[in-house]
Structure 1
Amino acid sequence: MEIKNEIHRIFAKGKKQGHRVFIKRRIGFLRFWSSLTFAQRCYFLATAVLLLQLLFNFNNGVLEAAMFCLALAGIINEIWPKFMSLWNSLPGKALILFIYAVIANFALASASGLVNSVSGVSASALPYSHNFALILMVPSWFFVTTILGLVIGMMLTMVYLFCLLLLKPFGVQRFWHPRHYRFAMTTTVARFAWTLGVALQLSVVAEQVGLLSEFDSDLDNPVISIDTTSAEQSESGTSELTEKQVEDISRLEGEINALLTDTKQKSINYRKRQRRFLAEFIYEFEADSRSRCAHPEGTRVIELNDYEILQISPSAEMEEGYAYSVEPCISAAIGNGAY
């Protein structure tokens, strides 16, 4: 009976101590959590999810998406106020407008090239189609500018971290932050890591969807395959790869090649859809079914100048579904033609 009471007493004491430790830890965590900013909380949660995935070795698309969304939310929360401060200053506004002007110029030039490759004439002759081609390219340029912004932010983070390391011996723990800002060094490292991760993830997603097909140098080149060979035993005693290692390498090679092939095919399909949509727009909205220039029935025309027309006719043989040809304008004022 006494032994039983002693066991109960020890159990109650241990339970009480455990509850006290739990309350103490909980209070400490709540104080730590309340001292963090929104961005720091996002980095903390994203890192916690990443550690859970690494420790338990499981892949969950929802958790992975939530992890990168948290990191992106933290990055935007820190960048947006600085962007607004830059925008509210006259030099900053000039810099931002200059950057947007450069991007818009490249986007207009690429849209002009797309119109020319589809129709065979200058984009200046098809202003509405030129604008539509620019709209088709907005998603690609949005992702590219976002990735470039993240890369620039990552470079600035590296500079900030380097300055912190240089000034730390002089007692400087933070700058460009409020006085109550805590864990400046740790947050800078987390910000750098997650900026790099988000930039890589956005690049992979954009490439797999096909949004970066506009920036692929050559979509017709075959996908580069990875060749792996087993290492031969050398005089120094290096052992050959086991059968399991060879199988793992072969499986990894196949997965990489399959991913590259699928990505390139999606880029090709995305480019084809862009050209198809543009061709449909040119025929349905830019071209005229009636014109002063004579043209065969069932075709549509765009007047390039007083003497030339762009004749468009549906064609199942063409990839975009339409055939384009520059023809002389035959009218009552210039000359007669029989169709």
Structure 2
Amino acid sequence: MMRLLAPIKRWSSRFGLVRIKSFWLSLTFPQRCYFSALMICLNGLFVDLPVMDETPPTFSNPFINFALFIALIALVVEFWPRFYHFWESLPGKAIILLFYAFVANYALVQAAGMINDITGLNADKFPYSHNMALLLSIPSWFAITTLFVLLITQLAMPLYLLALLILRPLGVHEYFHSPDYRFPFITGIVRYGFSLTLLAAAVTMTQESGLSTSINETLSGIARGFDGVIDVNNEDAPQDAEPEEPLGISLDVQLQSEDSPTPQPENVSANQLKLDKVRERNSKIRQKGQAYDQHIKQFIANFVYFQEADEKSRCEHDTQSRIVELNDFEIVEIFRDSTQPLRYRYEVKPCISAALGHQFKQPK
């Protein structure tokens, strides 16, 4: 028996494992990640299919999620040297700094608006709380925008693949990559497929976490800022605007219902069911966005009361309250109030101290 199995073992070791090992060693680290992610995806498809009948699709398969994580590592490793090379140039520094300054400015304005929504006062009166709100928003803004820029740039991959096909007969395709880089065309196709899937997964993640609401409001504000330059004094503009759709939600159903001819009776129920699904999805996304904002605002409100507000002050105030001095003559007194949405009530009062404000003191 051993004699019969010996040729099989020699054949497998000579033509099987050796070839697999040489093929694996010839690949770069990102290519190994792409290959591993592809194998994991193929394995995961036979275990449990992801739910793809929603808008956008829900990625609930752990194999698919792990494969996408490996593909994301490959994308970061592959494009980090190019980003670093772009950063080393003077125009690259200017573009990158301008982009992140743009993002940081919007995060700064969003943090100031959050403080104003919580307290009803200008964010300048609460510098520490403003900084805390900014620190909570900047990491998510930077991470999400960087991820989306990385994935959106991959949408130009078909142009890269077309250039490879055209320039390969001319022998100048090595300018795109090193000569020892194997399978560039197949790698580009796999990279493009994973980039599209990661982009859909990133949109789904922002929606499920509730971040899409603030991002969508910011993008809508930017669009209205460009479009409203001409129509800012237009009196015929509608006063009540429709609520914006959340990020990533397709409007094909609504456009179809408005622009297409009257559907046949047998298609009315199907179109209505599809429209109801989109509306239900939009409602869930808005609720998650409101819940996310509520958690952040509650954290900031607690920070204002327990950290920034003073328990003792030169100005008279209730023993059960805390205050923040707005200036030499005014204070904001903060009370715990379970009837308020964030459980705190803010009242602006005159500062009655040893030398000032006695004319505002109520008679006993």
TM-score (norm 2): 0.73
Aligned to 2:349: 327
Shift of 1:264: 3.2
* RMSD of equivalent CA atoms: 3.8
**3-state SS in 2 of match to 1:30:** helix
Distance across 2 between alignment mates of 1:186 and 1:222: 37
In structure 2, what residue type is equivalent to 1:123? A
> In the alignment, which of 284, 296, 308 is matched to residue 274 of structure 1?
296
Q: How far, CA to CA, are the matches of 1:258 and 1:18 in structure 2? A: 60
Match of 1:4 in 2: none
Tell me the percent identity. Answer: 34
In the alignment, residue 310 of structure 2 is paired with which amino acid? D
CA contact (8 A) 2:44 2:61 kept: no
Alpha-carbon spacing, 1:166–1:328, altered in 2? closer, same or farther (3 Å): farther
Tell me the secondary structure at the aligned position of residue 347 of structure 2: strand
Structure 1 SS opposite 2:157 = helix
Q: Are the structure 2 counterparts of residues 182 and 191 from structure 1 closer, same or farther at C-alpha, using a change threshold of 3 Å?
A: same
Would the aligned equivalents of 1:164 and 1:174 in 2 still touch at CA under 8 Å? no
In 1, Cα distance between the equivalents of 2:278 and 2:41? 23
Q: 1-side partners of 2:163 and 2:114: how far apart? A: 45
Structure 1 residue 284 corresponds to structure 2 residue 306: yes
Q: Structure 2: any 5+ residue segments left out of the alignment?
A: 51-59, 221-242, 255-262
Q: 2:115, 2:130 within 8 Å by CA — same for their partners in 1? A: yes
Q: Mind listing any 5+ residue stretches in structure 1 that lack a counterpart?
A: 1-7, 234-239
- Range moving further from structure 2, 275-284 or 141-150: 141-150
Q: Distance in 2 between matches of 1:143 and 1:201?
A: 15
Residue-by-residue CA offset, 1:118-172 (whole Å, 9 max, x unaligned): 1111111111010011122134314422333223431453443343344334233
- CA apart distance, 1:95: 3.1
Letter of the 1:39 counterpart:
P
Task: Tell me the amino acid that sits aligned with residue 205 of structure 1.
Answer: M
Question: For 2:199 and 2:105, how far apart are their aligned partners in 1?
Answer: 24
SS in 2 for 1:179: coil
Alignment deviations for residues 285-304 of structure 1 (CA, whole Å, 9 cap, x no partner) = 11112223332332222122
For residues 323 and 28 of structure 1, what CA distance do their matches in structure 2 show?
72
Q: Describe the shift of the 1:166–1:279 C-alpha distance in structure 2 as closer, same or farther (beyond 3 A).
A: same
Alpha-carbon distance change, 255 to 121 in structure 1, aligned in 2, over 3 angstroms: same
1:179 aligns with 2:179: yes
1:147 aligned partner: 147
Q: Which moved more, 1:121-130 or 1:100-109?
A: 100-109
Instruction: Determine if contact 1:119/1:324 at 8 Å carries over to the other structure.
Output: yes
Separation (CA, whole Å) in 2 of partners of 1:257 and 1:329:
51
Alpha-carbon distance between aligned partners in 1 of 2:95 and 2:244, rounded to the nearest angstrom: 39
Indicate conservation of the 8 Å contact 1:150/1:199, yes or no.
no
Based on CA coordinates, which of the two structures has the bigger radius of gyration? 1
Partner of residue 82, structure 1: 82
The whole-number CA distance in structure 2 between the counterparts of 1:289 and 1:17 is 83
Amino acid at match of 2:303: F
* Alignment of structure 1 residues 37-56 onto 2, 5 Å: 37-54=28-45
Change (3 A) 1:56 1:128: closer
- Whether the 8 Å contact between 1:143 and 1:206 is mirrored in structure 2 is no
SS in 2 for 1:325: strand
**Does 2:335 correspond to 1:313?**
yes
Q: How does 1:62-141 map to 2 (within 5 A)?
A: 62-141=62-141
2:287 to 265, 269, 280: 265
Whether the 8 Å contact between 2:37 and 2:70 is mirrored in structure 1 is: yes
Note closer, same or farther for the CA distance 1:322–1:266 as it changes in structure 2 (3 Å cut). same
Check 1:308–1:161 CA distance in 2 against 1; reply closer, same or farther (3 A cut). farther
Aligned length: 317
Cα distance in 2 for residues equivalent to 1:176 and 1:35: 18
Q: Does structure 1 retain, via aligned residues, the 8 Å contact 2:350–2:357?
A: no
Task: Report the equivalent of 1:29.
Answer: 20
Q: What SS does the corresponding residue of 2:39 show, helix, strand or coil?
A: helix
Mapped contact 1:112–1:123 kept (Cα < 8 A) = yes
Residue 43 of structure 1 contacts residue 71 of structure 1 at CA under 8 Å; is this kept in 2? yes
Q: SS state of the match for residue 206, structure 1?
A: helix
Does the 8 A contact of 1:213 with 1:270 survive in 2?
no
* Mapped partners of 2:281, 2:34: distance in 1: 29
Deviations 1:13-43 (A, max 9, x none): 9x95797367424333322221111101111
Structure 2 match to 1:304: 326
The alpha-carbon deviation at position 316 of structure 1 amounts to 0.8
Structure 1 stretch displaced more, 262-271 or 56-65: 56-65
Q: Name the SS for the 2:346 alignment partner.
A: strand
Moved more, 309-318 or 322-331: 322-331
